[in-house]
Amino acid sequence: MAKIIYKRLDIQFLRGIAVLAVIVFHAFREYLPGGFLGVDVFFVISGFLITGMILRQLDERSFSFRSFYIRRAWRLLPACFSTLVFSTFFAIALLTPEELLAYGKQLLGALTFTANFALTFQTNYFSGEAETKPLLHIWSLSLEEQFYFIAPLILSIASAKARLRILVIAFGLSLLTCILMMNGVVPGMPASSAQKLAFFMLPTRAWELLIGSICAWLAIKFPAAQLPTAVRYLALFTILGLCFGALPDHHPGLEAFVITVTTAMVLFGSSEWLDTNIFTKSIAKIGDFSYSLYLVHWPLFAFSFIAFLGRPPAWMLTALICCSLLLGWMQYRFIEVRFLHQVEPKSNIFRIFLIFSIAIAGAIGMLIAAQRGLPRSTSFAQGLHPRCDQSGDRYIEYLACQTGKNNSPTVLLWGDSFAMHLAPGIMSSLPDEVGFRQATKSACAPILGLAQLSKHTLEWAEECVRFNTSVLNLLSEHDEIRYVVIASSWTQILSPQAKLLASDRGVGVLPIDLVRAHIEDTIRAIRTLGKTPILIGPTPIASYDVGACNERLLRTLPILHPGGCDPQLAEIEDSVKTAVTELRYVASRTETMLLLPTEHLCSSGHCASMIEGRNLYRDAGHLTPDGAIYVAREIKLKNALGYDGNAP
């Protein structure tokens, strides 16, 4: 029976191509938008090699769970632990308590092989915030390790005749589950949540490893079988072409299926098809240390993104690629190679368990320490209470989302997350015995019959429209409510760029005058119910995390962002100018009071982000409690609500 060769030139070449694609994608995604597909290539290679090894040993009756897992541990853990140790030192030195808390959760996930679970609740892989997660890349290793736990057990239980059938059935079920979740066909789960789970979780990504597993079974059973060299070169060029292709809206999709199938085609057969020359040998050498290179590159990028408060300049990104290559090779040479052949001593199990236990204890300790050091600015993220960031299609009257001793709020706060952050400011503007009610839903502008679609599904937009209708119904049922504070970023519907919107006219890009008409109709509907509407415009919204910048400044952590923390007025005008202009027009036509935070925060070429040593921002545009109280005072919200310091 032929053995699968583990040091094949074509496999190492493919590994080199895959890891370089991922690194270039992280550095210059505009030039290699499909480079993240290198991870999918790794999945197929892993499935091919690991399943091939298990099947061969099962056929030879030499398979041992103990030996298998010790080999996996010594192959994967030393380099991984080395990366985690150095990353943790940098994290402690460079991260704010809030960032350190998120890092601690990622670290605990990495140590327990559940990083994909931890990251599911922290970020979307393709979002901007993902760039500040130093252990983001560990999700794929955790997914592979979960596969390593399950595959040997299933294959060892199955009979030799049933193994291919099981692999094919598992492949089909995983692929079907992936397709259903990517299309949002999951009862009771928003499409965006289903798609995120499909990206990070083994049940929906196992089919990619199983393509490699099926290929390994065929290679063992039919050792003489070969694909024509021309076909394998065509498959290889297809892989390269996909890496240069456009970034898909969601992943995994058709591109994942194509690249996994073509990877399997490259793997099937002997390695003699690939030309041996200086280019292929050089890329294959990178493939030799691709595991360590993959491990070390992303923490370097993430810490740089954090220090620069965004994407570093091209020269820094280029330097990071070179540094990754050097550190990856050093970790391979001095860590990976040294542990690669330590397999059998009985003390190894104890050593692994001891190191593992110490590492987990350290991660838990970091989480506790980070939580104790969290800045106060993380509170009020959803206003009065997390429940106040409502998620359904109708407003629910939670007691936690209202204030006031008489339990009869006279003020309603209506809007999206840019209304939520005003809650402390409204509280500071009202006497203790006078309360307000919060009716808010993230990203859902307080406009009747209209919702954004640019970053959301049609289902979500319809939910938003129904939610706003239910808020108007609430107003009609509560005579005690006298004032309605309408707040939003407004930029999601009022901007110089065309916005895809859902309205009672259908789905499409609406002219800005029709968007204005919806806002005016909303204000008139509020007036018809005998309430007084108050419009609050957007806060300055920067292209970087102003709050994180100030936190770093207050804690004397390095900041490499040019221009300091205060947003530049020119940038702010570009982001909110259209919204402010249109709101002024609406206010004049409807005779509604308009309060503009930008008028009071911005002057002399910049916008204030810190007052008397207090951070005003929680992120790029949302206010901290201190910021909300300051803004409420500056825009004279107390006077607008009918309180000049005396009770009514």
- Please indicate, yes or no, whether residues 370 and 435 belong to a single structural domain of this protein: no
Distance between the two ends of the chain, CA-based, in angstroms?
Answer: 91
Instruction: Confirm whether 289 is domain-assigned.
Output: yes
Instruction: Confirm whether 1 is domain-assigned.
Output: no
533-569 residue pLDDT tens: 999 999 999 988 898 899 888 888 888 888 788 998 8
- Please indicate, yes or no, whether residues 464 and 491 belong to a single structural domain of this protein: yes
Q: What is the domain-level CATH number for residue 452?
A: 3.40.50.1110
Q: Tokens 């929680």 belong to which residue?
A: 618
Q: Determine the average pLDDT of the residues in 486-490.
A: 94
369-413 residue pLDDT tens: 555 555 544 445 678 898 999 988 899 999 899 887 666 789 999
Mean pLDDT for all residues in the chain: 87
Instruction: Confirm whether 539 is domain-assigned.
Output: yes
- Please indicate, yes or no, whether residues 37 and 121 belong to a single structural domain of this protein: yes
Of the candidates 305, 366, 381, 313, which has an alpha carbon nearest to the alpha carbon of residue 549?
305
pLDDT at 512: 86
- Please indicate, yes or no, whether residues 186 and 271 belong to a single structural domain of this protein: yes
Q: What is the pTM of this model?
A: 0.83
Last-in-domain residue among 374, 398, 422:
374
- Please indicate, yes or no, whether residues 356 and 386 belong to a single structural domain of this protein: no
pLDDT at 183: 85
8-23 residue pLDDT tens: 899 999 999 999 999 9
Q: Which residues make beta-bridge pairs with 487? A: 415, 536
213-232 residue pLDDT tens: 999 999 999 988 889 999 99
- Please indicate, yes or no, whether residues 92 and 121 belong to a single structural domain of this protein: yes
- Please indicate, yes or no, whether residues 164 and 128 belong to a single structural domain of this protein: yes
Last-in-domain residue among 347, 374, 401:
374
- Please indicate, yes or no, whether residues 320 and 383 belong to a single structural domain of this protein: no
- Please indicate, yes or no, whether residues 297 and 393 belong to a single structural domain of this protein: no
- Please indicate, yes or no, whether residues 257 and 385 belong to a single structural domain of this protein: no
More confident: 509 or 405: 509
Model confidence at 646: pLDDT above 90: no
- Report DSSP letters for 142-183, one per residue: HHHHHHHHHHHHHHHHS-TTTHHHHHHHHHHHHHHHHHHHHT
Instruction: Confirm whether 648 is domain-assigned.
Output: no
Model confidence at 98: pLDDT above 70: yes
Q: What is the H or E stretch that residue 503 is in? A: strand 500-503
In this prediction, residue 2 has a pLDDT band, given cuts at 50, 70 and 90, of very low
Across 107-122, b (16+ Cβ under 10 Å) vs e yields bbbbbbbbbbbbbbee
Instruction: Confirm whether 2 is domain-assigned.
Output: no
| Distance separating alpha carbons of residues 194 and 357, to the nearest angstrom | 33
Instruction: Confirm whether 125 is domain-assigned.
Output: yes
- Please indicate, yes or no, whether residues 418 and 515 belong to a single structural domain of this protein: yes
Of the candidates 151, 147, 155, 149, which has an alpha carbon nearest to the alpha carbon of residue 59?
155
Give residue 222's identity as a one-letter amino acid code.
Answer: F
- Number of domains, the chain: 2
Instruction: Confirm whether 647 is domain-assigned.
Output: no
Structural domain span for residue 356 = 9-374
pLDDT at 644: 66
Last-in-domain residue among 374, 398, 428:
374
Residue 162's CB: how many other CB atoms inside 10 A? 12
- Please indicate, yes or no, whether residues 360 and 480 belong to a single structural domain of this protein: no
Instruction: Confirm whether 645 is domain-assigned.
Output: no
